[in-house]
Amino acid sequence: MKKIPSLISIILLCGLILAACSSATQPPPQPSEAVVVESAATEAPTVEVQATAAPATAEPEAAPAIQHTNVPASPPASGGEKWGDHSTVSSNNAARALLGDDFTEGKFERPYNADTMDAYFPQLDIDRIVVHPEDATWVYALITMVGRDASNAFTGQYAIELDLDRNGRGEFLIVVDQPSSADWTTEGVRVYKDANLDIGGVKPMIADSEGVTSNGYEAVLFDQGTGDDPDLAWYRLDPGDPNSIQVAYKQSLLGGVTKYTAGIWAGTHLDPALFDYNDHYKYEQAGAANPEIKNFYPIKGLSELDNTCRQAIGYDATGLEPGICP
């Protein structure tokens, strides 16, 4: 009876050995299945490369062209508000300006380089101005300089400062940068606004330390055709006078105001944020153009700069307006 369990054990052991051998001799996966797996693995990266490559070849959309619908015509041949400016050439005195330069009152006659004042810039020396406010759409300003630079160009910036309420604090500054076009264009023309009405400190146009906190004309209303009105301001070189620049700005900029004052500026670099200039500089920093002012002569930090008195536009001046022409 003891031999029967042993026989059963032997039979079970042989069965296990046969099952293991049968499992070990199963054929491997067919090559076709492996090919399918490899094909799928190689196709996926191709799709990914195409997806990431597309943005690199896409070109940015071009900004829409500025559409102008209202272009200035020609200013009147006569009439208008006329005024002039002191010229350093008229005095025949090099390296000085005996008239027209008064830092305290914000009057500058400095078409010279700093410190030595041995380089004179006729393209920065204002000679005369005419403003025509009669047109229903446009105000035309004709700015005449003493001359052009050695390369026969206007290499400075030329600006009109508008004081609508005639209190000495300008509201708008129209700047033309290096004018060179014989045709009306908005290129290089910008219009700034003193939105927070902080120009001038306590005493507009008069040097005072309170004005140093002003940020000048801080708002850009118009930038070379960009703005609410793409036709707001233009310029062209005067076809009848090689030393003159014509500027046109819309009556709509004035908001219906017909009586105001205007002043003209010329400089190598006019910074709208530094108006009024004599609030942002001290006298000793700015210097003086008149050698009789010995403590501050010659010009220093404020050089290559010229401006005019302010002219009454559309009315007869009372003489009490800050900066008004005599």
What's CA 20's distance to the chain center, in Å?
87
Distance CA 265, CA 245 (A): 13
Site of tokens 């006729």: 122
**Which pLDDT belongs to residue 57?**
63
**Which pLDDT belongs to residue 156?**
98
What's CA 281's distance to the chain center, in Å?
23
Q: What is the pTM of this model?
A: 0.81
CB burial class (10 A; 0-12, 13-18, 19+) of residue 302?
Answer: buried
Distance CA 225, CA 296 (A): 42
**Which pLDDT belongs to residue 92?**
53
**Which pLDDT belongs to residue 39?**
41
> How many angstroms separate the Cα of 253 from the Cα of each of 132, 171, 316?
15, 10, 22
**Which pLDDT belongs to residue 56?**
60
Give the burial string for 254-281 (b: 16+ CB within 10 Å, else e): beeeeebbbbbbbbeebebebbbbbbbb
Mind listing the pLDDT tens digit for each residue in 228-274? Answer: 999 999 999 999 999 999 999 999 999 999 999 999 999 999 999 99
Q: Residues in the chain with pLDDT < 70?
A: 1-58, 89-93
Give the burial string for 158-180 (b: 16+ CB within 10 Å, else e): bbbbbbbebebbbbbbbbbbebe
**Which pLDDT belongs to residue 94?**
75
Distance CA 124, CA 135 (A): 29
Site of tokens 């799709």: 47
For the chain, the C-alpha Rg in angstroms (whole number) is 39
159 and 176 Cβ atoms separated by less than 8 Å: yes
160 and 174 Cβ atoms separated by less than 8 Å: yes
Distance CA 286, CA 299 (A): 6
Per-domain residue ranges of the chain? 81-313
Short-list 141, 300, 276, CA closest to 203: 276
